[in-house]
A = this chain, B = another copy of it.
Amino acid sequence: MSVDLRYDDDVTEVVEKTTRFVRDYVLPLENEHRGDINAAGGDDLRREMNAKAKAEGIFAPHAPVQFGGLGLNMSDRAPVFAAAGYSTFGPIALHIGAPDEGNVHMLAHIASDEQKQKYLAPLAAGDVRSAFAMTEPSPGAGSDPNALSTAAVKVDGGWKINGEKRFITGAEGAGFFIIMARTAGAPGDRGGATMFLAPADTPGISVDRHIVTTDRSMIGGHCEVSFTDVFVPDEDILGEVDEGYRYAQVRLGPARMTHVMRWFGSAQRCHDVAVDYVSKREGFGGKLGDLGMIQQMVADNEIDLAASMALLVKACHELDAGSHASNETSIAKTFTAEAYTRIADRSMQMCGGLGVSEDLPIARLQQELRPFRIYDGPSEVHRWAIARRAIGRAKKAAQAVAGR
């Protein structure tokens, strides 16, 4: 039979366990601390929640089975991660937050056996956290990865790295860094990037500043990090020299989609809070939920949630089928990031004055969701890529017709 959208029973079971775990244990913690993970205890709270998740059998559902995870593929991660993301502390609790989750994914695909023991095993187990050091301050690699400026120079037995990075999520308190540095060519060139693994206590690594953003659920914050004569031995090169952009692709699509999954949960929660509110609140001779303009917002949220999930399912399917799925993940990322902002916005509006207050969680969830239109590639960059591919296909099709 063509087309089957059902989940296997064991996946459904993990989803249900996660839903209960988040609702009964994680959400109260998040609400108590108004969603600020670092103020709430940071890694201490993380370890406490991780232990609970392990006890429930839902810890690290994405990690390889041999490293203690459930080994779920992308399709199966979707409903689990969404259930976790219903609380902004949920992904931390299940150890599926950014950037660790993407780093686990990449190490599982690319690292050598020795690297897996040294870096992946403790990361997958939640003993340490990690950071992915790619983005740079202007004029370095930002939306345009080709501008990579951080440079690694070959020295005896390894490489010496110098450069500045910015918006490095989780850098504060990370156990190790994956550093993207240029090993060939000049800023502006495509190619010539290499990934390096480095313990956080390697001399020359310095976490200089937290960039305070509107979101509060990223453990270790978004940091400025500098690398000064950081030595990385040859055996800590991740994959091959000069192949960094190719490996970044391996991480990119899945990491995008797990963002989509997690934040789906938060968007769903905004909607749930608002629908509950309008179903009860009196006004204009009935319930607010009886009013057409309110119903329009409810329906538009429902449509946005359904379209978000449908695009996510499609992109995960392509990734599981072995494709880079650059187009499908760009489309899903762009649509959902904007849909989530719309959902949060409508939910705030439906709740009136309370919607913009701390009495309800929507206003702070909106602050968590908004940056997704910028993080992981701004919508504009994705649209540019999507359009370029479409126009490229049109040109090829025109040539094919012309050649007939």
A275 to B293 Cα, complex, angstroms: 18
Name the 8 nearest CB pairs between A and B, nearest first.
Answer: A292-B292, A310-B310, A295-B387, A299-B383, A298-B387, A299-B386, A3-B75, A212-B358
Interface membership of A76, Cβ < 8 A: yes
Given contacts A213-B353, A298-B387, contact A313 B316 (CB under 8 A): no
Q: Which residues of the other chain, B, contact A310 by a CB distance below 8 angstroms?
A: 307, 310-311, 313-314
Digit string of A361-376 for contact with B (CB within 8 Å is 1, else 0)? 0010000001101110
**Whole-angstrom CA separation of A389 from B382 in the bound complex:** 27
A294 CB contact (under 8 Å) in B166, B294, B380: B380
CB-CB nearest in chain B for A271 = B390
By a CB distance below 8 angstroms, the chain B residues around A373 are 349
Contacts of A375 in B (CB 8 A): 353
Give the complex CA separation of A292 and B143 in angstroms: 15
Cα distance, A390 to B382, chains bound together (Å): 25
A398 touches B (CB below 8 Å)? yes
A: which residues have CB within 8 A of B? 1-8, 11, 73, 75-76, 135, 138-139, 142-144, 147, 166-167, 188, 211-215, 222, 272, 275-276, 278-285, 289, 291-296, 298-303, 306-307, 310-311, 313-314, 316-317, 320, 327-328, 331, 334-335, 341, 345, 348-349, 352-353, 355-359, 363, 370-371, 373-375, 378-380, 382-384, 386-388, 390-391, 393-395, 397-398
**A317 in contact with B4 given A283-B142, A293-B296 (CB within 8 Å):** yes
Looking at the assembled complex, report how far the CB atom of A163 sits from the nearest CB atom of chain B, in whole angstroms.
17
Q: Can you give 22 contacting A-B residue pairs, CB < 8 Å?
A: A1-B8, A3-B75, A5-B5, A5-B313, A138-B283, A142-B283, A142-B353, A143-B284, A166-B353, A211-B353, A211-B359, A212-B357, A222-B353, A275-B390, A275-B394, A276-B397, A279-B398, A292-B295, A294-B387, A295-B388, A303-B335, A307-B335
Main secondary structure of the interface of A (DSSP, over half): helix
Give the chain B neighbours of A4 by CB distance below 8 A.
3-4, 317
- With both chains docked as a complex, state the minimum distance between the C-beta of A164 and any C-beta of chain B, in angstroms: 14
A373 to B299: give the CA distance in the assembly, Å. 15
Interchain CA distance A272-B382 in the complex, whole Å: 20
A209 to chain B, nearest CB (A): 10
Contact status of A138 and B387, CB under 8 A, knowing A3-B313, A296-B293: no
* A333, B386: Cα distance in complex, Å: 25
A374 contacts B386, C-beta separation under 8 Å: no
Chain B residue with the shortest CB-CB distance to A380: B293
Asked if A296 contacts B358 (CB within 8 A), the reply is no
